Amino acid sequence: MKKLKKMSKSDRLFLFIVYTTVALISVMILYPLWFVIIASISDPNLVATGEVLLLPKGITFEGFKYIFRDPRIWSGYYNTIRYTVVGTMLALFITIPAGYALSRTDMKGRGIIMKLLIVTKYFSGGLIPTYLVVDALGLVNTPYVLMILGSFSVFNLILCRTYFLNTMPVELQEAAEIDGCGIFQYFMKIVIPLSKSIIAIMVLYYAVGHWNSFFNGLVYVTDSDLYPLQLILRDILITGQSVDPSTVDPESLELMKQIARTIQYGVIIVSSLPVLVLYPFVQKHFVKGVMIGSVKG
Amino acid sequence: MANIKKEKGNGKLLRHLKRTWVLYLFILPMIIYIVLFNYLPMYGIQLAFKDYRPTDGIWGSAWVGLEHFKTFFESYQFKDLLWNTLSLSFYSLIAGFPMPIIFALFLNYITKKRFKKTAQMITYAPHFISTVVYCGMILIFLSSDGIINQLLMILGIDPVGFLSNPENFRHIYVWSGVLQGIGWGSIMYISVLTSVGPELHEAATVDGASRFQRLIYIDIPSIMPTMVIMLIMRAGEIMDLGFEKAFLLQNSINLEYSEIISTYVYKIGIQGGQFSYSAAIGLFNNVINLLLLVVVNKIAKRVSDVSLW
């Protein structure tokens, strides 16, 4: 307070603008998320008439009941979980060892390999040629394509490499070598245990990527049994097919129309739940990832 | 003599490989991945100059030269597609680029720790929401009976037909993107700002500089190189506009504004099966992208001495 009094007029005005702007932007982002939560458990009629604004009213879990009865949600959830788990493990297997190898100065040809990687960031074959390759590999309409695609990113590789470059002292590696420790052993016994934070970052980046991935499912999978959650969500949220017509009797169909919106709010929550629940705890790792990336510039 | 020398050279390489072969094994999965999904498709680009028939394969199909490009340039959609792609992209860039910077500069002057942490926690969150969910929220909130119109009504403002007016597509697309990216995009700038030594700020304060003056004369110059790099990278993505969001927000009403090159390629290629024609359009898109990147990089190099290469 004393400090505030000492401040000049322009400083006080400046801080006022700073605090209000930041607060305003935060509210603009937080409120929609909060509204989804309260609307999903409120009486649909009260939501429609604009009476639910800050707190839930006429609490009901009807929407969620329908959501959990919808087989599409279950199959989408199951698919997305297996794509995410297998895909993330594959991504670690590809990215971490490669990032380490490319961080070592005694690896010949690493300059060329880095250049080949950078090229892919700025030039690609495009959608159709990529589709034909995936097709030729026999991967179209298989679960494998959604596990494999998205399991490597040049950006993440560079992040790993930068991390290893900055944190793995050459002296340690030399000392291990003198003791007769081979590269593989050194990597498994020393590098990996010292790299928990970059591994955590990679797990998060790839897992969120797989979880939210929509495009690959849209392009490479036509069998609805293989649909990831995001494709099901598109049907419910965008195309407005809140109800799976094949599984519901006409009477409840009428009821479902009334609570279609409630179902949409509920689906947003159900699908984003894993990410939203973990988010506050892992947020600092995500941020750290960006920081590592920015060191390189 | 020469023979011995040669043997020595080979022996050196052999010794090197014997010691480091594991490293090459380490990059093998990555090499397989990028060859399959990045470089093999580049080989498939020749499709754009051929008349692809599945029975003949990529290699066996007949060459047609630039015919597909000509067809595209002469088609009635060409102008609209290019205009929609470019205008949406530049609009996103102009609105979306400065926002995270301003946000970072502001956050940097917030001394109340709890306030700052909460604001960061909230503003980073939309980055993790999937595009499908985000677009779903946009459509639900902006609908005629959505929460935005309900709030407007409380304020005594007549409801707005956000979605029924196709011209609004651009604004909805761009500003929802700004809100989604403002927090996440600011992290890099914040990290640079915090690395500015406090001495500079202290000295300026002693000299009687106000906070605003410190922002202008200390903070902005300190993030300038990062800004330039980010701008160059964004330039390389001008034509690489998010397919997902445009596709998901697209409907029969706003198609005139929302059809961009990538959604068009998807429709005629994957859905319509015109592989060669859509590959040509995709290639056109990529080449423009690359050109923009090179040009902006060159300009940046001349103007500010910062560049990607």
pLDDT tens digits for range A8-57: 888 899 999 999 999 999 999 999 999 999 999 998 888 888 888 899 99
B150, B191, B289: residue with CB nearest A291: B191
Tracing tokens 């979880």 back to the chain, one arrives at: A211
Calculate helix-pair angle for A9-40, B168-194, nearest 10 degrees: 120
Q: Among the residues of B46-130, which ranges form H helices?
A: 57-60, 67-74, 77-96, 98-107, 113-124
Asked whether residue A4 carries a pLDDT value surpassing 60, the answer given is no
Cβ(A213)–Cβ(A228) below 8 Å:
yes
Phi-psi group of A50: left, alpha or beta (phi > 0 → left; psi -120 to 50 → alpha; rest → beta)? left
Residue A295 has a pLDDT of: 53
Tokens standing for residue B227 = 């800004």
Helix, coil or strand: residue A141: coil
- Which whole number is the average pLDDT over B132-137? 94
Instruction: State pLDDT tens for residues A163-204.
Output: 999 888 888 888 888 888 889 999 999 999 999 889 988 998
Residue B80 has a pLDDT of: 93
How far are the Cα atoms of A31, A248, B23, B56 from residue A97, in angstroms, in the given order? 42, 50, 8, 40
Instruction: State pLDDT tens for residues A59-89.
Output: 989 889 888 988 999 999 999 999 999 999 9
Residue B283 banded pLDDT, cuts 50, 70, 90: very high
A106, A122, A283: residue with CB nearest B236: A122
Residue A246 has a pLDDT of: 57
Mean residue pLDDT of chain B comes to: 88
List CB contacts (< 8 A) between B109 and chain A: 14-15, 18
Cβ(A249)–Cβ(A287) below 8 Å:
no
Residue A2 banded pLDDT, cuts 50, 70, 90: very low
Q: Determine which of A53-57, A222-226, B3-7 has the lowest per-residue pLDDT on average.
A: B3-7
Q: Which of residues 131-190 of A touch B (CB under 8 A)?
A: 131-134, 137, 148-149, 151-152, 157, 182-184, 187
Residue B1 banded pLDDT, cuts 50, 70, 90: very low
Residue A297 has a pLDDT of: 39
Residue in chain A lying closest to B281 (CA): A126
Closest by CA to B146, choosing from A49, A254, A238, A27, is A49
Which residues is B63 bridged to in the sheet? B50
- Calpha distance A64→A57 (Å, rounded): 16
Residue B235 has a pLDDT of: 78
CB-neighbour burial class of residue B288 (10 A; exposed 0-12, middle 13-18, buried 19+): middle
Report the run of H or E that residue A137 belongs to, with start and end. Answer: none
Mean residue pLDDT of chain A comes to: 88
Residue A139 banded pLDDT, cuts 50, 70, 90: very high
- Calpha distance A240→B46 (Å, rounded): 40
Instruction: State pLDDT tens for residues B246-275.
Output: 999 998 889 999 999 999 999 999 999 899
Asked whether residue B53 carries a pLDDT value surpassing 90, the answer given is no
CB-neighbour burial class of residue B296 (10 A; exposed 0-12, middle 13-18, buried 19+): buried
What does the angle CA A245 – CA A248 – CA A250 come to, to the nearest 5 degrees?
Answer: 90
Asked whether residue A212 carries a pLDDT value surpassing 50, the answer given is yes
DSSP A60-102: --HHHHHHHH-HHHHHHHHHHHHHHHHHHHHHHHHHHHHHHHH
List CB contacts (< 8 A) between B121 and chain A: 280, 283
- Which whole number is the average pLDDT over A268-293? 82
Quick one: DSSP state of residue B209?
-
Instruction: Tally A–B CB contacts below 8 A.
Output: 260
Asked whether residue A257 carries a pLDDT value surpassing 80, the answer given is no
Residues 6+ apart with CB under 8 A from B8: none
Cβ(B189)–Cβ(B105) below 8 Å:
yes
Q: Determine which of A277-291, B118-132, B249-263 has the lowest per-residue pLDDT on average.
A: A277-291
Rg (chain A; Cα; Å): 25
- Calpha distance B179→A166 (Å, rounded): 33
Asked whether residue B289 carries a pLDDT value surpassing 50, the answer given is yes
Cβ(B111)–Cβ(B259) below 8 Å:
no
Residue B7 has a pLDDT of: 52
Residue A37 has a pLDDT of: 93
Cross-chain residue pair B23–A104, CB shorter than 8 Å: yes
Tokens standing for residue B229 = 């790099």
Residue B295 banded pLDDT, cuts 50, 70, 90: confident
> Percentage of chain B with pLDDT > 90?
49
Residue A151 has a pLDDT of: 95
Predicted ipTM of the assembly: 0.88
Closest by CA to A129, choosing from B215, B39, B306, B195, is B39
Instruction: State pLDDT tens for residues A83-104.
Output: 999 999 999 999 999 999 999 9
- Calpha distance A189→A174 (Å, rounded): 15
HSE-CB at A85 with a 13 A cutoff on CA atoms is 5
Closest by CA to B102, choosing from A287, A10, A18, is A18
List CB contacts (< 8 A) between B137 and chain A: 32, 36, 268
Tracing tokens 């597909």 back to the chain, one arrives at: B68
How far are the Cα atoms of A3, A155, B205, B274, B284 from residue A88, in angstroms, in the given order? 50, 15, 49, 34, 33
Residue B2 has a pLDDT of: 45
Residue A296 banded pLDDT, cuts 50, 70, 90: very low
- Calpha distance B183→B108 (Å, rounded): 13
